[in-house]
Chain A
Amino acid sequence: EPEVTQTPSHQVTQMGQEVILRCVPISNHLYFYWYRQILGQKVEFLVSFYNNEISEKSEIFDDQFSVERPDGSNFTLKIRSTKLEDSAMYFCASSTGADTQYFGPGTRLTVL
């Protein structure tokens, strides 16, 4: 069964550094999403992406965040200058747009 994959599984970085989280969505899916879950809190929507542009973003997704689909398979989330409060589990998801969103295993980001 096709799966969403994410790399790395764990990323440790220093405050102020840039990080790029990578996702490979399911191949025939057209809609892509990033969510995050700070430890002990709800899973929160960050951004959705369709047809090579952002279709919706949350208040969390400020100018420090960007997303890109650099090629036909990868979908990336970049955080330009990480803050301590960016420490969280980041989940990528994809869907056909008409049905369920399928989630990847997540990347645990730790900002020191």
Chain B
Amino acid sequence: AQSVSQHNHHVILSEAASLELGCNYSYGGTVNLFWYVQYPGQHLQLLLKYFSGDPLVKGIKGFEAEFIKSKFSFNLRKPSVQWSDTAEYFCAVNTGGYNKLIFGAGTRLAVHP
């Protein structure tokens, strides 16, 4: 069965620190990969996605992620975080455009000013 693992459940950073959140998935075939963010009191919003092509994808708010097929990974990065990045981050995969999403457990990020 497909699964998604996020290695860090809680991350605490100071403003301007660099961020990398790990995501690994288990599935042998072609996948679509997503990072969603949930700001406090708000709904899940898409940060970025990978379907095909350049494995380095750029999303909103300065986030990027790199798909490494050999490692089944899709790690999220941001070179310099801001207090407003405090949120929960979810990695998700599906096996086709309309198929269900399989989510990781989420990573709570707290950024201190």
Name A's B-contacting residues (CB within 8 A). Answer: 4, 31, 33, 35, 41-45, 48, 50, 55-56, 58, 91, 93, 95-106
Contact = CB atoms under 8 A, between A and B. Distances in A.
Contacts of B36: 103
Contacts of B103: 35, 42-44
Interface residues of B, number: 20
Interface of B: 34, 36, 42-46, 49, 90, 92, 97-106
Q: Say what secondary structure dominates the interface of chain B.
A: loop
A2 to B, nearest CB: 13
Most chain A C-beta atoms within 10 Å of own C-beta, residue among B46, B90, B100: B100
A98 B97 contact: yes
Contact of B98 (A43, A48, A102, A104): A48
A33 B43 CA distance: 15
Given A91-B44, A100-B49, A42 B98 contact: no
Given A42-B103, A43-B103, A105-B43, A97 B90 contact: no
B34 A100 contact: yes
